Structure 1
Amino acid sequence: MPRCVMSGLSAFLFIGLQLASTSLVAEPLSTPTGEVILTISGNIERTNAGAQAHLDRDMLMALESCVIETSTPWHREPGRFEGPLFRAILSAVGARGEVVHVQALDGFEAEIPVSDLETYDVILAMKHNGETMAIRDMGPLFVLYPFDDYPELLTEMIRFRSVWQVNHLHVP
């Protein structure tokens, strides 16, 4: 089974304080201090770059994360993947929608129903077997479903939703 862990105080500081506000104006996200690897746009409440949310590696790793040990259709052997839960990312930016459009660096796009993210511990994998995922190795972010834990996920539709080289999410 996936092992999901909250990264403690940093997660509280990143999300908890922002959710504590009860005003009608959404609190902005903190500003990234490193290279932005994920941009989120659309129907989101918390931003830090105009109408968008820009997240760097540290901001993503501060969210609730999961370690998934699984086989994939794209790897020869089972691997250990680690990254933030996709639903935690959406929660951190206050996303409101039924679907998320996921875009890769090469322009490939897929639509993922939010219900997938509520049903399964889908992550945006940032590490594979303990190593940061480089662009040439499906990074910086890879939509990963826990395939070995749920055989029903081994379908062409789910493989299509398992986008690698992710750099943008849009919530219509």
Structure 2
Amino acid sequence: MKRILVVTLLFMSTFASAYDLTIKLPNQEPIVMSMNQLKSVLPVTAFTTHTPWSDNDQPISLTGFTMLDLLNYIKAKNVASVSFIALNDYSSSTSIDDLKRYKPIVAYSLDGEPMRVRDKGPFWFIYDMSTYPQTDSPGYHTQMVWQIKEISIKYK
């Protein structure tokens, strides 16, 4: 019975931590925010867009928060760029200028459902390629990191 309880608790803690997002700022302790915290303290942003990864070229609906809202919430000033690190350690950076110009989001919901790891979740940095078609290009595609575990902020 104890083994079952231990295995269940380990599984639950692993599952729960998959929904935490670590934010790293230079010369500071990392900030770890749960999915519930992110949803409760940041304004919700949503859009529907086409992506190269959609089945049958069907648009998808994404819900999440903008990086500008997160940067404002954590009081990050003089930001130059933001890097997104995935569960498999793939990473890509985006300039503050692109964050301001195109208002991409860190999505946590896909077509109204929480994003599972197998569905690019729990977090996916993505541009609205239908509103900003210039972001539907290989250079921007490489920035759209999914299965994000960590966000790293770089200052000017």
Instruction: Give your verdict on TM over 0.5.
Output: yes
> 1:139 deviation in Å?
0.1
**75, 78, 90: which one aligns with 2:54:** 75
Task: Find the counterpart in structure 2 of residue 51 from structure 1.
Answer: 29
CA contact (8 A) 1:43 1:95 kept: no
TM-score when normalising by structure 2: 0.80
Deviations 1:44-65 (A, max 9, x none): 8xxxxx7111111111112012
Bigger relative contact order, structure 1 or 2 (CA pairs below 8 A, ≥6 apart): 2
**110, 113, 117: which one aligns with 1:128:** 110
**36, 42, 45: which one aligns with 2:25:** 42
Task: Find the counterpart in structure 2 of residue 60 from structure 1.
Answer: 38
Question: What runs of 5+ residues in structure 1 fail to find an aligned partner?
Answer: 1-33, 45-49
**74, 88, 96: which one aligns with 1:114:** 96
Within a 5 Å distance, the mapping from 1:141-152 to structure 2 comes to: 141-152=123-134
CA contact (8 A) 1:66 1:121 kept: no
TM-score when normalising by structure 1: 0.73
Task: Find the counterpart in structure 1 of residue 4 from structure 2.
Answer: none
The structure with the largest helix share of the pair is: 2
Letter of the 1:105 partner, please give it: L
- How large is the RMSD of aligned CA atoms in angstroms? 1.6
Letter of the 1:64 partner, please give it: P
> 1:121 deviation in Å?
2.1
Distance 2:114 2:80 in 1: 30
Query: What's the % identity of the aligned pairs?
Result: 25
Structure 1 segments, 4+ long, off by >6 Å, are none
Residues matched between the structures, number: 134
Q: Which of the two has higher C-alpha Rg?
A: 2
Question: What runs of 5+ residues in structure 2 fail to find an aligned partner?
Answer: 1-15
